[in-house]
Amino acid sequence: MSTRFEDLPNELILKIYSYTRIDDLALAFWNLNQRLNDLIRSLKHLSLILATKTETFASQLFSQQIGRVVILTLKDIQLNSFINLSSLILNIATEHHLKQIQPDVVPNLVYLSIPIAFESHVTRHLASQLFSNRFPALRYADVNIVDIPPILSWSQSPSLQSLHLSSPSINIIPLILQSCPQLIHLQIRMTNQQDFDSSLTELPRTNHPLKNFIFTQYPTSKSIFHIASLFPVIPNVRRLDFHLCTSSFTNLIQSISESFLQLNCFDCQIIEYPNQSQYADLRRIRSSRACYSNIQCTYQEKSFCLYTTKHH
């Protein structure tokens, strides 16, 4: 005895729908009958990928049900029809796309990813909104290039918990810590070799809850960032991942050990330059804490040493 698709229970049909692309959902199942239409209308948080067109039949049909949009085209996309949008990924973004990231257009934004760098007045304006609580639901942001605003006008964004960005200035870090008092994860990549300038920003006087701190120095930079000056304000860090230069690997490890009592994960790719007259005592360092057990001296010569963990 054969079974028709319509004979399946609602739960099984909904399961099938959950594995179906939104465009196929619209073309294959819409308007077959009222029951299937009602089941499709019950779906929430649909995901739409726009790669070649500005809009599709599915994007029009399910605009109020779409919770995630991925833009892979340079063509102009209108976001204001997706009134329940909570996740936006701009793999290829234009100024038109960026200008639409406004509180009145995407008020329910929880996840924002802009992996390609844009250096313009548009991104500076976007950063000022992100770090001034204009998107009160935002939890995760990958905004790439962020520079220090000409006027230190950021307020606070207590909802932000995870942040990925690049910046030409290391002085952006104190500003971020001040602006994001509930930040748990911070990943920052330097695009220049500017060092801390205490006249630009002050370190926050709070016991910040940051748990994960990933810092990557400008690839060709040989400048020594005095990053240890940040440690007292982020004592709750449990995971560190450092790609940087230091004048003393031993002193840096000692500062890390004294500052982060809860540290349980440590990864690094650290150049000691110019290297000390005596190399670091790796046996003592590895035995001092479990998270140091994978540290090794990968390369050494007269002018410098390279210390890494096995993960790097």
221-269: pLDDT as tens digits: 666 777 888 899 899 999 999 999 888 899 999 999 999 999 999 999 9
Find all residues with CB under 8 Å of 79, minimum gap 6, and list them. 69, 85, 88, 97, 100, 101, 105, 106
Q: What is the pLDDT of residues 184-209, one digit of tens each?
A: 999 999 887 766 665 555 666 678 99
Provide mean pLDDT across the span 80-92.
91
Average pLDDT, the chain: 87
Cβ neighbourhood burial of 265 (10 Å; 0-12, 13-18, 19+) = middle
Whether residue 18 has pLDDT greater than 80: yes
Pick 131 or 310 by higher pLDDT. 131
C-beta separation of 246 from 271 below 8 A: yes
Alpha carbon distance 108, 288 (integer Å) = 46
Residue 163 near residue 134 (C-beta atoms within 8 A): no
The reported pLDDT for the residue numbered 312 is 58
pLDDT at 290 over 70: yes
Per-residue tokens: 255:
């500062």
What pLDDT score was predicted for residue 161?
97
Give the per-residue pLDDT at 118.
56
Beta-ladder partners of 46: 66
Q: Cα–Cα distance between 43 and 193 in angstroms, integer?
A: 49
Residue 99 pLDDT > 70, yes or no?
yes
DSSP state of 224: -
Question: What does the pLDDT read at residue 289?
Answer: 95
Task: Provide the pLDDT for residue 205.
Answer: 66
CA dist., res. 233 & res. 259, Å (int): 9
Contact 266, 309 (CB under 8 A): yes
Task: Say what the pTM is.
Answer: 0.88
pLDDT grade for 107, boundaries at 50, 70 and 90: very high
The CA distance from 83 to 106, in Å, is 7
Q: The tokens 């039949």 sit on which residue?
A: 57
Res. 183 pLDDT band, cuts 50 70 90: very high
Structure tokens at 263: 């540290």
pLDDT grade for 144, boundaries at 50, 70 and 90: confident
SS3 state at 153? coil
Q: Please report, rounded to a whole number, the percentage of residues in the chain having pLDDT higher than 70.
A: 89
> Which comes out higher in pLDDT, residue 224 or 165?
165
202 or 145: which leads in pLDDT: 145
Tell me whether residue 22 is exposed, middle or buried, using C-beta atoms within 10 angstroms of its C-beta: 0 to 12, 13 to 18, 19 or more: buried
pLDDT above 90 as % of the chain: 53
Mean pLDDT of 76-90: 91
Residues 6 or more apart whose Cβ sits within 8 Å of residue 125: none
Strand order in the sheet with 46-50: 46-50, 66-71, 87-90, 111-113, 140-145, 162-169, 185-194, 212-216, 239-246, 265-272, 305-308, 296-300
Note the pLDDT of residue 218.
77
Confidence of residue 13 (pLDDT cuts 50, 70, 90): very high
pLDDT interval class at 160 (50, 70, 90): very high
Q: Is the pLDDT of residue 56 over 90?
A: no
pLDDT score, position 301: 83
- Alpha carbon distance 168, 190 (integer Å): 6
Alpha helices in 217-305 (DSSP H): 249-259, 282-288
